[in-house]
């Protein structure tokens, strides 16, 4: 008997996967698999387990195509592998079901549009950086304000927590902690 198998993915542990899992269950997924890894990573144990579990006639359900793969090349590879095994892809957001010829065509069109969009964004970003440099501006993250950092370190030495010191001088907490760790590493070892 064919199964509807759900697959969910988030990029970082602080992102909530429960919304995807609930949508998949509501759509009829009888079993779900998930990963907490960046889409750029090809090693996904949850997806691998799903592929091992899936049988001919099953359907792999995702909330959105970008949860399955970040690039058109990767999506096509996964869908081709599933097709060879007789497993269909169902994407809830894009309303795609590759078990039909029309659904497969729509999948390819959506995948190509998504790839096109990503390339356009990258080109616009490169053009914006080039234009900013031509105008004498240096795009990107501003340099670290050494005076603020020194002030934060003085506050920490006087007993304030690194988090409160960072907030008081307007720096990121991780910046202060990183500098504290670097200053500890830079100190000579005592006998």
Catalytic residues: 11
Residue 148: Cβ-neighbour burial (10 angstroms; 0-12, 13-18, 19+): middle
Euclidean distance between CA atoms 27 and 8, whole angstroms: 13
Supply 54's token pair. 């899936």
β strands within 82-136, DSSP E: 88-91, 96-97
Residues 6 or more apart whose CB falls under 8 angstroms from that of 24 comprise 6, 7, 8, 32, 61, 62, 63, 92
Euclidean distance between CA atoms 96 and 94, whole angstroms: 5
Matching residue, tokens 């949860």: 67
Euclidean distance between CA atoms 101 and 68, whole angstroms: 20
Q: What are phi and psi of 89, to 5 degrees?
A: -110, 135
Residue 134 and residue 128 in contact, taking contact as beta carbons nearer than 8 Å: no
Other beta carbons within 10 Å of 64 = 14
């Amino acid at each position: 008997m064919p199964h509807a198998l759900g697959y969910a993915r988030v990029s970082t542990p602080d992102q909530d996967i429960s919304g995807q899992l609930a949508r998949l269950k509501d759509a009829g997924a009888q079993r779900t698999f998930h990963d907490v890894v960046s889409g750029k990573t090809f090693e996904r144990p949850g997806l691998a387990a799903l592929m091992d579990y899936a049988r001919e006639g099953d359907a792999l359900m995702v909330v959105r195509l970008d949860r399955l793969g970040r690039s058109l090349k990767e999506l096509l590879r996964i869908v081709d592998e599933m097709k060879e095994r007789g497993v269909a892809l169902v994407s809830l957001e894009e309303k795609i079901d590759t078990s039909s010829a029309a659904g497969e065509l729509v999948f390819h069109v959506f995948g190509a549009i998504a790839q096109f969009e990503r390339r356009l964004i990258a080109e616009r970003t490169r053009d914006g950086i080039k234009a900013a440099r031509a105008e004498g501006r240096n795009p990107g993250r501003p340099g670290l304000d050494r005076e603020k950092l020194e002030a934060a370190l003085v506050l920490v030495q006087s007993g304030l927590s690194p988090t409160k010191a960072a907030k008081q001088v307007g720096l990121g907490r991780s910046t202060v902690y990183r500098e504290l760790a670097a200053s500890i590493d830079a100190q000579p070892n005592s006998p």
